[in-house]
Amino acid sequence: MIISMRLHATKEEVAQVRARIEEFGYKVHSIEGEERVVIGAIGMGDVTACLESLEAMPQVEKAVRISAPYKFVSKEFRPERTEIKVAGATIGGDEFVVMAGPCSVESEKQILESAEIVAKGGAKLLRGGAFKPRTSPYDFQGLEEEGLKLLAKARTLTGLGIVTEVMSDRDVSLVAEYADVLQIGARNMQNFALLKTLGKCGRPILLKRGLSATVKELLMSAEYIVAHGNPDVMLCERGIRTFETVTRNTCDIGAIAALSEMTHLPVILDPSHAAGKRSLVPALARAGVAVGADGLIVEMHPHPEKAVSDGAQSLDPKQFAKMMADLKPYIALWKQARMAETAATV
């Protein structure tokens, strides 16, 4: 920690601050400038509590932590990539993985049709919501367990893995029975009761970034899951909320690049929610491959104009097939770069 004292703080005030820091078990070094004293605190202790305490002291101008607030998810803790094996695919390694499907599970016919199209296009996992977070209480809330059963049926028929959302700690074990990957929605990224439960669920997690969550907060939420016992977390950039409305959200492509320096966890891009408009999805998908994401999660609906949710951003089967074909040379370049990297670190 670095603590800067207010201008012209007295010696006594500096001594009080030093004493407080030492109470928390840190060693203290102070630097006396002409205007201001700056204090460095070194060691191991309860950083958050110490910072809170110091910031509450009137003679302190600012107290800043130097070390990252997360540990298990950081690249410094573990330099090798986390590889997550699911449904015959390895996410986070040398394979670029596509997950696709409709926003909601609507009927047996719809989800089986979707699964077939998605599998044919080369996706390895099928997405589809059985529990739906909806802004309005009057909107379709999902088929719940019935929807989970339909997803399981689609898996049996196609061999695709299943990614589906869980919204409450109460439903984690139920959803984990059916799903291969549990998705946590953007609005639940800091539902800490839910995050803790995921530590013991025995399934990989796809953790979506909150609408206004910073990259560090996303990593802290992943840290919750890992610290509670589950190392298999994928992070998902799905666009953040800004002043811009020409797209539904603002696709933070730079966050993907930054995350690849900060963490060993795989990062997935959701171009559908980022764009909010079907025609922009393929371009964002290409950008996601090029920037170095580990995979995509894309909305595809057999009949978007009949979708109960997210129809405007869902690709139709033909568009999905074209996008998957167009992505091939980009994925080939991606694979080449990834293998060169692996070769370099061996």
Question: By CB under 8 A, what part of segment 63-82 binds a second copy?
Answer: 64, 66-67, 69-70, 76
Q: Does 25 bind a second copy (CB under 8 A)?
A: no
What is the footprint of a second copy within residues 279-308 (CB under 8 A)? 279-280, 283-284, 286-292, 304-308
DSSP-derived letter for residue 170 is G
85 binds a second copy (CB under 8 A): no
31: left (phi over 0), alpha (psi -120 to 50) or beta: beta
Residue 300 neighbours by CB under 8 Å, 6+ apart:
100, 101, 102, 114, 117, 118, 121, 314, 315, 316, 317, 320
Q: Which one among 154, 207, 235, 251 touches a second copy, defined by CB under 8 A?
A: 251
Q: In the structure encoding, which two tokens stand for residue 280, read together?
A: 């922009």
Nearer to a second copy, 16 or 90 (CB): 16
Task: Determine the 3-state secondary structure of 263 from DSSP.
Answer: strand
Binding-site member from 10, 15, 25, 32 for a second copy (CB under 8 A): 32
In the complex, minimum distance from the CB of residue 159 to a second copy, in angstroms, rounded to a whole number: 29
Of the candidate residues 10, 25, 52, 325, the single one contacting a second copy (CB under 8 A): 52
What one-character-per-residue DSSP string does 291-320 give? HT-SEEEEEB-SSGGG-SS-GGGPBPHHHH
Figure out which of the listed residues 45, 93, 122, 311 binds a second copy, where binding follows CB under 8 A. Answer: 311
In the bound state with a second copy, the residue whose beta carbon lies nearer, of 53 and 90, is 53
User: In a 3-state reduction of DSSP, which class is residue 284?
Assistant: helix
Smallest distance from the beta carbon of 112 to a second copy, in angstroms?
21
- The β-bridge partners of 90 are 85
- Give the shortest CB-89-to-a second copy separation in angstroms: 23
Separation between Cα atoms, residue 273 and residue 256, nearest integer Å = 15
> Nearer Cβ to a second copy, position 26 or 86?
26
Contact 255, 224 (CB under 8 A): no
Q: Taking CB under 8 A as the criterion, which residues in 92-131 touch a second copy? A: none
Site for a second copy in 159-188 (CB under 8 A): 167-171, 187-188
φ, ψ dihedrals at 310, nearest 5°? 60, 25
| Span of 79-87, 120-128, 152-160, 217-225 interacting with a second copy by CB under 8 A | 217-225
Q: Give the one residue of 19, 49, 157, 325 binding a second copy; rule: CB under 8 A.
A: 49
